[in-house]
Amino acid sequence: MTYEERLQQLTELELAGRATDWSRADAWAGMVRDFGRKCLSDIASTLGKSTEYVRQHAIVAATFSGEHRHPDVDFSLYREVAQAAKRSKCETTAVDLLRHVLDEGMSAAEVKLLYRSAEDKPPVLRFADRCPDCSTRVIVYVVAERNGQVIECPVCGLTLGRVDDNGQH
């Protein structure tokens, strides 16, 4: 298999993974609709997930119908849009905010900053890498406002990258 064929295969797997995210979230939302919120903890414990993870996926599935689901958009962006719309206190709907976010090409980290009050904890970006020189595992959590911060290995000082909206670069 050529390099390009493998990249194409990875792309197809990513799209299948996103479709699976939606199918799973739809199933969880259906369980909540049919049996109530009390089933969230049973789903979570059965599948080895946190209750919050299951709850957020069910909310996203219930919020965005099929016509608003784009195969090239990661599920995490939908989750952030749903949470930001809730923080807006009816200033916008999740669907309208999704349109805006997609039109502006906003990242999940940028959406996470929307409709935040001064009292809210600032969102955090995660950077994780292994230093190629000394093999030290480096994990750093950075406040989102410090997006672009250079991360260096604490042992040998090698520059590992910059924190960006996706967690690392």
> Burial level of 127, CB count in 10 A (0-12/13-18/19+)?
buried
* Tally of domains within the chain: 2
Q: When comparing pLDDT for 44 and 162, which is higher?
A: 44
Q: Are 31 and 90 part of one and the same domain?
A: yes
Q: Are 106 and 132 part of one and the same domain?
A: no
Q: Are 92 and 55 part of one and the same domain?
A: yes
Q: When comparing pLDDT for 108 and 166, which is higher?
A: 108
Read off the DSSP letter of residue 121.
P
Q: Are 42 and 82 part of one and the same domain?
A: yes
Provide mean pLDDT across the span 33-57. 95
Q: Are 153 and 75 part of one and the same domain?
A: no
Predicted confidence (pLDDT) per residue in 136-147, tens digit = 888 887 776 667
Give the span between the Cα atoms of 63 and 65, in whole angstroms. 7
Structural domain range at position 75: 3-112
Q: When comparing pLDDT for 167 and 109, which is higher?
A: 109
Q: Report the pLDDT value the prediction gives residue 164, as an integer from 0 to 100.
A: 67
117 in a structural domain: no
pTM to 2 decimal places = 0.68
Q: Is residue 149 predicted with pLDDT exceeding 70?
A: yes
Q: Report the pLDDT value the prediction gives residue 64, as an integer from 0 to 100.
A: 96
